[in-house]
Chain A
Amino acid sequence: MAAPESGDGNNGAARMVTLISSDNTRFEVEAAAASLSQTLQLTILDGGGGGGDGIPLPNVDSATLSKVLEYCIKHAPAAANGGAPNATAVDRAELERFDNEFVNIDQSVLYSLIMAAHNLEIEGLQSLVAKKVADMIKGKSPMEIRRTLGFPDPTPEEQAEMNAHMLEYGWAYE
């Protein structure tokens, strides 16, 4: 069991759990932070992940998991307050600054995060990364979107379909 630390949480000592990435790196985090994952929440409620056991996450590599946990640790206190009705404007601004900074990353990392947030069902992270990709898409033409997101050049058939779509959905291209 994790040694009780001088608690600053609501219940004194914070319970710790261990998560194991696909490349066998062990991460020890507060249960409250890991519980932002809907997928892990039940296991943790059942007492899993404590002691030497650890919860294996075969779909998440260590680089991605450490990034995911950075998010969870930052957001756990606000989530524990039930959406933080008593959060101050300063707290909210700080979280927003963190979020903006957090998704300022390479596309490959972003996609790994989308996968991990999806698999682990971390709602806040899912909408954060989705919004980031949406920002990369909006206001662009289909060709620009393909280039931005690293699609291969369109085949002639795909090009023809894009042109036809542009005629039909003219209102969207104005």
Chain B
Amino acid sequence: MEDTKAIAALPDDALAGVLGVLLPQSLAVARSVCKAWRDIIDARALLLAHLLPHSVRGVFVNYTDHDRPHLFSRPSSSSTFPGIDGLLSFLPNDDNRRDWWTVLDHCNGLVLCSVNWGNQLCVCNPATQRWTILPQHNTELGRRRPCSYIAFDPIVSPHYVPDVPEKPKTTAPSVQRVRRSR
């Protein structure tokens, strides 16, 4: 059959088998090669499997009168899934970032924390131990920001969106606004 001589002529299933062996980085690049490839990768969620946590690895519990949350998770000793650092000890503690911290929100594996006595916001991934401190844009904010959220969908974009209302006490958070408009 002449038309099997081009890669574009391969049936989707066969092509998916080829694309499926690519590592995430190459797969993400391959996604932009042409629309057919993108459709195959998206329809079979080939990239999603790499980017999303595969299962719930643990649960953070906040306390009202304790200086930090606790992570409840099954102990893990395997090298493929090393234990998750629930103490966030990968954060440098030279400016007391891990004094009185609490979890505000999470989304697809990213955790939004209020750290350093509620003076700073930190986005981190306890599994990969990567973290960043969000820039402080309003020092008059109350210490606790109970109305902060994080949105992160790695299929749509590799970027996350923290939603920190300017004045939590007087402005309704966006989630409530959405609810009211229904």
Chain A contacts to B: CB under 8 angstroms: 22, 59, 61, 107-108, 111-112, 114-115, 118, 126-127, 129-131, 133-134, 137-142, 145-146, 149-151, 154, 158, 161-162, 165-166, 168-173
Contacts and interface: CB of A to CB of B under 8 A. Distances in A.
Contacts of A162: 32-33
Interface string B26-44: 1011111111000000000
A172 B28 contact: yes
Contacts of A151: 7-8, 33-34
A66 B6 CA distance: 20
9 contacts: A61-B1, A107-B7, A114-B14, A133-B18, A141-B29, A149-B7, A150-B7, A161-B35, A172-B26
A111 B32 contact: no
Interface of B: 1, 4-11, 13-14, 17-18, 20-26, 28-35, 157-158
Greatest chain A CB density within 10 A among B5, B7, B8 is at: B7
Contacts of A114: 10, 14, 17-18
A142 B28 CA distance: 10
Contacts of B9: 111
A171 B33 contact: no
Nearest to B15: A114
Greatest chain A CB density within 10 A among B13, B14, B22, B30 is at: B14
A130 B17 contact: yes
B5 A111 contact: yes
A115 B10 contact: yes
Contacts of A173: 29
A104 B83 CA distance: 43
A134 B32 contact: no
Given A130-B20, A172-B25, A142 B32 contact: yes
Given A111-B6, A115-B4, A115-B10, A145 B17 contact: no
Given A118-B11, A169-B158, A171-B158, A158 B34 contact: yes
